[in-house]
Structure 1
Amino acid sequence: MESSARVAYEGGMFRLAHISDIHLGPLPGVTYRDLASKRVVGYVNWQRNRRRHMRDAVIDTIVADIKASAPDHLAVTGDLVNLALDGEIEMGKHWLETLGSPDDVSVVPGNHDAYVPGAFDKSCRSWTAWMTGDGVSTPVDREAFPYLRVRGNVALIGVTTARATAPFMANGFFLEDQAERLRDVLDATAKRGLFRVIMIHHPPVRGAVSQPKRLFGIARFQKVVQRHGAELVLHGHSHEPTLFSINGRGAKIPVVGVAAAGQAPGGRRPAAQYNLLEIDGEIGNWRLRLTRRGLTGPAIPPVDLEVLELGADAMA
């Protein structure tokens, strides 16, 4: 993608691509010391399941199609890696460098990027360029979220729910301190008349995932967006191309999930997809169109799978 970070879109259409749950492989060398933690569970899961169904060739096909679509920006909603090994985090950085300029790619971390204590900080340090708000020069840590990037008439707001959890758990957490900062960002961007996109890893709605994977703080998140507004929420984690909504002020706010970007066809989850969102209009009259593109066979390039109008009228 050509750098478009400072382009003024003059009220024209903004095209935003969205991927999630890349789970880059193969795993780098794993030591016994690495596995003396929750990682042993993830390692077994990788060997039994993800190693067979999460494939780099699939990711490459999806990324090539995204680049051919030439979106103005790309949102990546977490789980770049599997066990958050140091080698994986470094591999994640190199992969992000292949996507385009950090100005054109925005990332939020997922639970696998914070798999064990200390991993979240390492991921933030390595992927800082893709998780830094406009005009911010301080290091990226938990206090840096939500971050804000403005591209044309679109506000990209990155929220983190990633935190190390116990074995067999993959929960996210949206706590009051981040909620307070998100309120301020939503109010400030509303005053500027921007289309506000919140990027988050865990789905902030009930029923999207099982209890061991759910977000703690769903009610808190929904209360914030209900009171302070947003136009769109993008998430990952479920590995499903879902569409939910949150009741907002006068209109429903679409909450859009996506299939895992590295999922090969033939598994129990949908094959790899990405979302392409076309944003047009102005405050009070936004228009939003969602096209899901993805694989339908092992050697077939992505095709349009579904096209939805998600404007205020369509979601009412």
Structure 2
Amino acid sequence: MAPLTAPFTLAHLSDPHLPPLPTPRLVELAGKRALGYVNWRRNRHKYQRREVLDALVADIKAQAPDHIAVTGDLVNLAMEAEFAPARAWLDSVGPPDRVTTIPGNHDAYVRATRHRFGESFAPYLAGDDGSTGFPAIRRRGPAALISLSSAVPTLPLMATGTLGREQLAALAGVLEQLAAEDVFRVLLVHHPLKSRAWQKRLTDSAALLALLKRHGVELVLQGHDHVHSTMWFEGPNGNIPAVGVPSASALAHGRYPAAAYNLFAIEKDNAGWRCEQVVRSLDHGLQVREIKRARLI
């Protein structure tokens, strides 16, 4: 591959939990949704704010990245009334050829509507071959974006994710294919590869890590935990960075930081790939500023 004249820039945000929450119908407030609604009314509405999300997206647009990745949890309780506003919001972020999204656990909150995310956001999920299954591959500039879905309905008080044998088997083939190509491989997954809490873990992370150790990628982008994080995992040619980011609509609260996004500058150099991370975060005045810059590769 010839050297690029300028780095390819990839923005990463996650967990917008699009506020405000629509008023639920009584029939929708059963089981897990009832607990989620109580949590929203008591706590989450105080710090998941639309003005925060709007400020973050405005700053992303000002940075003019080549592509934007959104790693799940666009909605909150997966009620029917949430999906149309979430799709309108995603359309405002950018067109499907410039934005890639994957589902999070809140997007598949209950079995009754677990299919709605795929229906509502199909153009933003589809691989280059037009398929909307997972894994999906999107090639953008020097990058190959590999989308996974860890979104499955779970019992109340649980927020685990699962890829499943079929998706993992397909991923093995995708990674083997891409390993032979000169592309910067970016894996998108909602649940972190190493969980901070048992009830929020990726249940088959060991199988995923084994695939990455064998075949490798250059970068993993993840969400779910609502915190800044950089984890390192073994790959065939060195350690792989897995980077998480706070909720895109959150005010700082407790141990959770304010909304932020990551901007990655990716380019080829003589030694291989170069990837620099810039973290841009909301301050107390709803202004977005750079708070960190680091070279990952």
TM-score normalised to structure 2 length:
0.96
Amino acid at match of 2:158: M
Aligned twin of 2:249: 262
Return the alpha-carbon distance in structure 2 between the equivalents of residues 291 and 164 of structure 1: 34
Structure 1 residue matching 2:115: 3-state secondary structure = helix
| Deviations 1:82-114, CA, capped at 9 Å, x for gaps | 000111111111111101110110001000000
Describe how 1:14-33 pairs up with structure 2 within 5 A.
14-33=8-27
Aligned twin of 2:226: 239
Describe how 1:231-310 pairs up with structure 2 within 5 A.
231-281=218-268, 285-297=272-284, 299-310=285-296
Aligned twin of 1:123: 117
Choose from 41, 58, 62 the match for 2:56: 62
Choose from 127, 135, 157 the match for 2:146: 157
Shift, 1:167, TM fit: 0.3
Shift, 1:266, TM fit: 4.5
Describe how 1:52-201 pairs up with structure 2 within 5 A.
52-136=46-130, 138=131, 140=132, 144-201=133-190
- The question of whether the paired residues in 2 share the 8 Å contact of 1:193 and 1:282 is answered with no
Q: For structure 1, which segment, 180-189 or 52-61, has the greater mean C-alpha deviation from structure 2 after superposition?
A: 180-189
- The question of whether the paired residues in 1 share the 8 Å contact of 2:3 and 2:269 is answered with no
Return the alpha-carbon distance in structure 2 between the equivalents of residues 194 and 11 of structure 1: 16
Point out where structure 2 has 5 or more consecutive residues left out of the alignment. none
Return the alpha-carbon distance in structure 2 between the equivalents of residues 119 and 46 of structure 1: 19
Choose from 196, 203, 216 the match for 1:209: 196
- The question of whether the paired residues in 2 share the 8 Å contact of 1:9 and 1:152 is answered with no
Return the alpha-carbon distance in structure 2 between the equivalents of residues 11 and 50 of structure 1: 44
Structure 2 vs 1, CA of residues 98 and 58 (structure 1 numbering), >3 Å: closer, same or farther? Answer: same
Return the alpha-carbon distance in structure 1 between the equivalents of residues 96 and 200 of structure 2: 29
CA RMSD after TM alignment: 1.6
Shift, 1:282, TM fit: 5.8
Amino acid at match of 2:165: E
Structure 2 vs 1, CA of residues 16 and 213 (structure 1 numbering), >3 Å: closer, same or farther? Answer: same
Amino acid at match of 2:275: L
Amino acid at match of 1:252: N
Structure 2 residue matching 1:156: 3-state secondary structure = strand
Return the alpha-carbon distance in structure 1 between the equivalents of residues 43 and 222 of structure 2: 23
Shift, 1:38, TM fit: 1.0
Amino acid at match of 1:295: L
Structure 2 vs 1, CA of residues 220 and 68 (structure 1 numbering), >3 Å: closer, same or farther? Answer: same
TM-score normalised to structure 1 length:
0.90
- The question of whether the paired residues in 1 share the 8 Å contact of 2:4 and 2:267 is answered with no
| Deviations 1:7-49, CA, capped at 9 Å, x for gaps | x995641100000010111111211100122100100111111
| Deviations 1:224-257, CA, capped at 9 Å, x for gaps | 1111110000000000010001111121000000
Q: Does 1:34 find its partner at 2:28? A: yes
Structure 2 vs 1, CA of residues 301 and 250 (structure 1 numbering), >3 Å: closer, same or farther? Answer: same
Return the alpha-carbon distance in structure 2 between the equivalents of residues 176 and 279 of structure 1: 32
Structure 2 residue matching 1:118: 3-state secondary structure = helix
Structure 2 vs 1, CA of residues 81 and 303 (structure 1 numbering), >3 Å: closer, same or farther? Answer: same
Amino acid at match of 2:60: I
Structure 2 vs 1, CA of residues 9 and 146 (structure 1 numbering), >3 Å: closer, same or farther? Answer: farther
- The question of whether the paired residues in 1 share the 8 Å contact of 2:55 and 2:286 is answered with no
- The question of whether the paired residues in 2 share the 8 Å contact of 1:58 and 1:264 is answered with yes
Structure 2 vs 1, CA of residues 165 and 199 (structure 1 numbering), >3 Å: closer, same or farther? Answer: same
| Deviations 1:207-240, CA, capped at 9 Å, x for gaps | x321111110010010011111100000000000
Return the alpha-carbon distance in structure 2 between the equivalents of residues 18 and 283 of structure 1: 26
Shift, 1:126, TM fit: 0.6
- The question of whether the paired residues in 1 share the 8 Å contact of 2:52 and 2:286 is answered with no
Return the alpha-carbon distance in structure 2 between the equivalents of residues 196 and 108 of structure 1: 16
Structure 2 vs 1, CA of residues 28 and 283 (structure 1 numbering), >3 Å: closer, same or farther? Answer: farther
Return the alpha-carbon distance in structure 2 between the equivalents of residues 115 and 310 of structure 1: 34
Shift, 1:134, TM fit: 0.3
Aligned twin of 1:5: none
Return the alpha-carbon distance in structure 2 between the equivalents of residues 37 and 241 of structure 1: 31
Return the alpha-carbon distance in structure 1 between the equivalents of residues 256 and 8 of structure 2: 30
Point out where structure 1 has 5 or more consecutive residues left out of the alignment. 1-7, 312-316
Return the alpha-carbon distance in structure 1 between the equivalents of residues 81 and 291 of structure 2: 35
